[in-house]
Structure 1
Amino acid sequence: MRTLIAAALLPLPALAQDLPDIAFQTLTLDPAHATITFRVDHLGFSHYTAGFDRFAATLDFGTDRPQDARLSAEIDVASLDLPSPPDGFLAELLGANWFDAATHPVIRFTSDTITPTGGTTATVTGTMQMLGVSSPVTMEVTFNGGYPQAEWEPYARIGFSARGSLSRSAFGMAIGVPPPGSTLGVGDTVSFAIEAEFIGQPKP
């Protein structure tokens, strides 16, 4: 998916040295530097790739309190972006059998736990709400860097990459899932990739 959900997603032990002097604050996703894409198996022949164009997220974070980091994110389902869709295909995916955008226009994610796995990596587990169903989703996150402020912008900026997967049938989207032992359909496992930068509050 092109933000879900971004990422509250940081390697807690390393942050103090990598991001000096960033006071705990609410950072906001920079939509100009964020993407969510997803991939799903199609007939065993390819991994169909698409994404979302409109999403938002906030990240509560500071190097003085990294253990309190928390992410909330929302995706506008109607912003589904498909590569060269045939006539009617986008409307079909946004319809009741798939994303059901009219009834469930927003996908939400809230982080629950952040577990460091290395100097710049962490596992983030949270609750995703889609199609009226809440289910846990886990992603592996890499902290790419940041600064407390720069000459060209008077606020903090930090960036992450995240990768994960989910079962679409766990959210009630089971249409087209191949029967056991077959790939004739659309796979149940959806892998996603997130690139996200967050910006903080302007310095006075």
Structure 2
Amino acid sequence: MKKLALALALSLSASIANAAEYVIDTKGAHASINFKIQHLGYSWLVGRFNDFSGEFSYEDGEPKMSKVNVTIQTDSIDSNHAERDKHLRGDDFLNVKKFPEAKFVSTTVTDEGDGQMTIIGDLTLHGVTKSISIDAHKIGEGKDPWGGYRAGFAGETKIALKDFNIDYDLGPASTEVELMLHVEGVRQ
């Protein structure tokens, strides 16, 4: 009986250790962190973060083994308008001198079926850490033309600016930022 329990424990720990590790492909620009926020309720202001890095672990059919860890350089914000970007980097918004990085670390990944998943984790932004939920789905996985193996995902979430102590008044239509995430990782 002890041998059976030991064999089960070893096989369980071996399956947990087998989640494949991936590095997010930012060098090839096969990943992006985009955002949009309403401008005065009349239109959308869109942008992205140009400098970020991260990794994730993933095993098809085993979402509980999955993990995500991403670090964003906040001064890389890019809304395609230099003066606005300068304001976004300043004290009214990201305060990049004081908070040069934003981080996301997953705590749980839940399989919702049909390639859909919910990723819950801690987002640290502007010196505040809050739990957020990302609705994600798998795009695909497989061999690439260079002999590697890749997996890709997309996800969306909304965050309230006030939750991260960003209280600059942009009007009632502009209290939340929508984040759109596109991630392709190269298996290590």
Answer yes or no: same fold by TM over 0.5: yes
Letter of the 2:52 counterpart: F
Query: 2:148 is matched with which residue?
Result: 155
Query: 1:57 is matched with which residue?
Result: 54
2:24 to 17, 26, 29: 29
**The residue matched to 2:94 in structure 1 has which SS?**
coil
1:78 to 54, 69, 75: 75
TM score, norm. by length of structure 1: 0.77
Identical pairs, percent: 21
1:67 to 59, 64, 67: 64
Query: 1:92 is matched with which residue?
Result: 87
1:164 is displaced (CA, Å) by 1.0
- The root-mean-square deviation of aligned C-alpha atoms, in Å, is 1.6
**The residue matched to 2:88 in structure 1 has which SS?**
helix
- The whole-number CA distance in structure 2 between the counterparts of 1:125 and 1:45 is 31
More helix by share: 2
1:122 to 110, 117, 124: 117
Query: 1:197 is matched with which residue?
Result: 184
Letter of the 1:80 counterpart: I
**The residue matched to 2:123 in structure 1 has which SS?**
strand
Which one has the largest radius of gyration? 2
**The residue matched to 1:33 in structure 2 has which SS?**
coil
TM score, norm. by length of structure 2: 0.84
Are the equivalent residues in 2 in contact too, given 1:52–1:77 (CA < 8 A)? yes
Query: 1:131 is matched with which residue?
Result: 126
Letter of the 1:160 counterpart: F
Query: 1:107 is matched with which residue?
Result: 102
Are the equivalent residues in 2 in contact too, given 1:24–1:64 (CA < 8 A)? no
Are the equivalent residues in 2 in contact too, given 1:155–1:200 (CA < 8 A)? yes
- In the superposition, relative to structure 1, how do residues 27 and 45 fare at CA in structure 2: closer, same or farther (>3 Å)? same
1:154 is displaced (CA, Å) by 2.7
- Unmatched segments (≥5 aa) in structure 2: 1-17
**The residue matched to 1:194 in structure 2 has which SS?**
strand
1:164 aligns with 2:157: yes
- The whole-number CA distance in structure 1 between the counterparts of 2:61 and 2:75 is 38
Are the equivalent residues in 1 in contact too, given 2:64–2:110 (CA < 8 A)? no
